[in-house]
Structure 1
Amino acid sequence: MASSSSSLLIFYIFLNLFFFLLLVEKISLVSARGLVGEHHIIDVKSLLPSSNCSVPDKGTRASKLKLVHRHGPCSSLARQDNPSHVELLQQDQSRVDSINRRAATNAASLNPVGDSLSARVPANTGAALGTGNYIVNIGLGTPSKSFSVVFDTGSDLTWTQCVPCDNCYTQKDPIYDPTQSSTFTNISCNSNYCTQLDQSSCSSTSTCLYQVQYGDNSQTQGSLIQDTLTFSSDNIPNFRYGCGHDNSGLFGKSDGLLGLGREPVSIISQTAQLYGKVFSYCIPSKSSYAGYLALGSSATSVQYTPMLTNPNLPSFYFLKLVAISVGGQRLALSPTVFSSPGTLLDSGTVISRLPPTAYSALRSSFRQYMTNYPTAPALSILDTCYDFTNYQTVKVPSIALLFDGGVTANVDFTGILYVASISQACLAFAGNNDASDIVIIGNVQQRRFNVVYDVGNLKIGFGANGCS
């Protein structure tokens, strides 16, 4: 009887121990799952892009183009003169400074080129228009000729260099000759299409002439014409664009620019009947990968936040940033820190810019998470850098951007660090000089999102894993 009681006692003890271990395991699993949103475990080798282009072998729909980094291995542009990281970041700061200068005034008399948003896109020494920009291939004319153009949500006029070329820079592709197209026509300078331009004039034959001046006195001028635009396999007849006969400045090897702004001459406005003023893109996580640019609505699993307008920058796309979290914890900031200057979503700016107090809080929190790693020298505008040379994996806190309407954009880990080398990986955010400067969400922080612009319904959407 005593033996039986002892056996039952031992069984009871083991049974309780078993359930206790199950409970401990369950608690551990819940904790582990909770940490998923708090940090990223990153293979250090994965931080650097490959020297080879990796493009998924997937069919694309008619209104979708491959989007690649202009200086990466997927780009068709010559790469022997690629700018350094310091040059790219200096140019990025020039673009940001120019945006803030233009936003600071609404006096048209102070704008030498009317209200042209293209004039707010500066270039700087050492590289091309904009910085860190991405390119797509479009077709012009009949038969169609292919051109590599920078896509920019802050510009309206699409243009390419054309013959006769009075003053043209060197580009990769043959310069376009519109007279070889069976669908080319000039536009009269008395046309509404001409008068809608920010700066236009008449030629000696009464055809429309345009001019766009950029921030460093780079410029393009020539004829406003119409011809067939080929976007993937979609043919868009009577598309109005600039045929540049006099183009100077630091445009690199690109053939021109694709304007995705909000004014009448942009591709978004011109194709409103076809695509409903909707476009989307995904910026790839590395320069050795490809993303896409698409016209029309096809997005699923996207969260939308209201699209706002800044009257001083009417073509740019604004939205309301309300908070930032690091490691799953919101920074202790007043929402007015972001709402007072306004927040711009920009494809041409590389590094996101935050108000000084917000950046200071973000940097402080990030540094607390990264105390186990040796620091590295600052890289231009990036002041929080680390040396991962002796590590196979690193643990980096998550960062999320919270927008109006309950939209949370969890920044991809490749959007948290700007990696010049394994020995210099930097927090990919920077502070503005003044609290009144515009908050900008740059293209590094947009990586791998399906970013949807529904201009007709005034909303901007974010979807995860957009490039996959």
Structure 2
Amino acid sequence: MANRARLIFFLLSTYLLFAFGFGAESESYFHVIKVTSLLPPPRCSTPKGSNHHENRKGVLKLDHRYGPCSPLGHRGKPTLREILSQDQSRVNSLQSRFKAQFRQVEDTKTTTLPAHLGTLIGTGNYVVTIGLGTPKSDLTVVFDTGSNLNWVQCQPCAGQCYPQQDPIFDPSKSSTYLNISCSSQDCSLLPSATGRSTRCAASTSTCVYATAYGDGSFSTGYFARDTLALTTSDVFPNFAFGCGQSNDGLFGRTAGLLGLGRDALSLISQTAKEYGKVFSYCLPPTSSSNGGYLKFGSGDATSVKFTPLLTNPNSPSFYFLQMAGISVGGQQLNIAPSTFASPGTIIDSGTVITRLPMSAYVALRSAFREFMSNYTMAPASSLLDTCYDFTQQDTVTVPKIVLHFGGNVDVDVPLSGIFSIHSASQVCLAFAGNSDASDLAIFGNHQQQTLQVVYDLASNKVGFEVAGCT
């Protein structure tokens, strides 16, 4: 009976949309779209009104690292299937870290690399360009809310360095570069070692860092300080970072990583006096758009809705949110709130596809398929099992998906976040279910597209604003 009522509701709503012209998204529970608009343009484009990154204090231009707007070029661009495989590797790493099974690499001599690095990854999908050193070197790095340590590859690459787009940072050419000593308090903050002796380069008494990802990717080298320039007016002397002498993994020709986690060594903590532990970003709707930005400090948005930011002692650097439910096509799904209570939900800038507890995902999938029952299904793609063939359609009507969070905050998933698109013949629902009840739910970056996402660590809250890129 419930399934029949939902289908009748869908058909009636679709009729009203066309019969009475209720085309605006705000006036319905559905998206009515042209199939041709689902496919991203092959060239870089700038959405109208996207000027957040132009000459503003504390604001960096943000790009998808595999798209035509990326400063990294197109060499080594993975297929969508490979991206999904890489995404699952990242999720496995996050899950194992949460379960205390993740461990840092202590000694590069004992590091075991996978036989084939081509399908594994440990970092995120969006990049920004920063300046490091005096005179500054411009470096394109991944930013990642799931990581804390900041690091870049450094000359002379005594071990090994992977190929990157920018010239590798040479500390000998920076007048403000300083190695951190083993005896410093900063060195003791490194999470990569259990004893002080393992943090020391014996010949120089220089602090050594080591960070590894669940897929075998790693970076090791000297822990150091130098001048960081986020913009021409946002300059931070004595910024602590890893100067990588031995690095490997699929980092996509980036120079390194910018950690936006919550611990003492992250960029957010090191710039707290200037920005008050507040940052935000907006991810563009497609990899072909350059309208995204990463912004530090409090913003000027007036319509941001905030949900409480939670902390889990097992992983205090992760950003936990209280997820409360899901609606599809204007109807809230019958999911017990306890489904999301344990082990919890995190928001992550580096995970692509949102992961849900299996029972919640099954409810979402069932409702979505009912609303889409008039369309031809296509074969599953990797971890995505609800796909459609739209080649015979000019337009399609898609139910909106709303994620409900604590504090009565409802996040309307943008249209670009509902589907993962291989081609018009394989358009897939961009959500997946966890395989284990002990796995975290993860609010991924694909569903965050076009939202302004505000992290206010000082007030322990995370906010969302619709159409944040414009």
* TM-score normalised to structure 1 length: 0.88
- 2:297 corresponds in structure 1 to 296
- 1:45 corresponds in structure 2 to 36
Distance in 2 between the 1:69 and 1:124 partners?
Answer: 24
Whether contact under 8 Å (1:282, 1:293) holds in the other structure is yes
Alignment RMSD: 2.3
Whether contact under 8 Å (2:39, 2:423) holds in the other structure is yes
**Partner-residue secondary structure (3-state), 1:316:** coil
Report deviation, 1:52: 1.2
- 1:10 corresponds in structure 2 to none
Whether contact under 8 Å (1:131, 1:350) holds in the other structure is no
One-letter amino acid of the structure 2 residue matched with residue 43 of structure 1: K
Aligned counterparts, 1:148-163, within 5 A: 148-163=140-155
Report deviation, 1:245: 0.8
- 2:434 corresponds in structure 1 to 432
One-letter amino acid of the structure 2 residue matched with residue 54 of structure 1: S
- 1:168 corresponds in structure 2 to 161
Report deviation, 1:182: 1.9
Aligned counterparts, 1:83-232, within 5 A: 83-105=78-100, 111-113=103-105, 125-126=117-118, 129-130=121-122, 133-166=125-158, 167-199=160-192, 201-203=199-201, 204-232=203-231
- 2:283 corresponds in structure 1 to 283
- 1:237 corresponds in structure 2 to 237
One-letter amino acid of the structure 1 residue matched with residue 227 of structure 2: T
Report deviation, 1:412: 0.2
Whether contact under 8 Å (1:168, 1:248) holds in the other structure is yes
**Partner-residue secondary structure (3-state), 1:253:** coil
One-letter amino acid of the structure 2 residue matched with residue 150 of structure 1: V
- 1:68 corresponds in structure 2 to 63
Distance in 2 between the 1:195 and 1:94 partners?
Answer: 30
Q: In percent, how many aligned pairs have the same letter? A: 54
Distance in 1 between the 2:242 and 2:217 partners?
Answer: 15
Report deviation, 1:113: 4.9
Aligned counterparts, 1:246-395, within 5 A: 246-290=246-290, 291-300=292-301, 301-395=303-397
Per-residue CA deviations over 1:340-378 (Å, capped at 9, x if unaligned) read 220010111110011111111100100111111111110
- 1:5 corresponds in structure 2 to none
Per-residue CA deviations over 1:147-206 (Å, capped at 9, x if unaligned) read 110110010111111111121111111111112112212211111111101125122222
Distance in 1 between the 2:285 and 2:325 partners?
Answer: 24
Distance 1:418 1:298, change over 3 A: same
* TM-score normalised to structure 2 length: 0.88
Give the number of aligned pairs: 433
Distance 1:394 1:231, change over 3 A: same
One-letter amino acid of the structure 1 residue matched with residue 192 of structure 2: Q
Whether contact under 8 Å (2:179, 2:207) holds in the other structure is yes
Report deviation, 1:313: 1.6
Moved more, 244-253 or 156-165: 244-253
| Structure number, greater radius of gyration | 1
Per-residue CA deviations over 1:22-47 (Å, capped at 9, x if unaligned) read xxx9xx87988898341001121111
Distance in 1 between the 2:70 and 2:361 partners?
Answer: 33
Whether contact under 8 Å (2:147, 2:261) holds in the other structure is yes
One-letter amino acid of the structure 1 residue matched with residue 407 of structure 2: G
Structure 1, unpaired ranges of 5+: 1-24
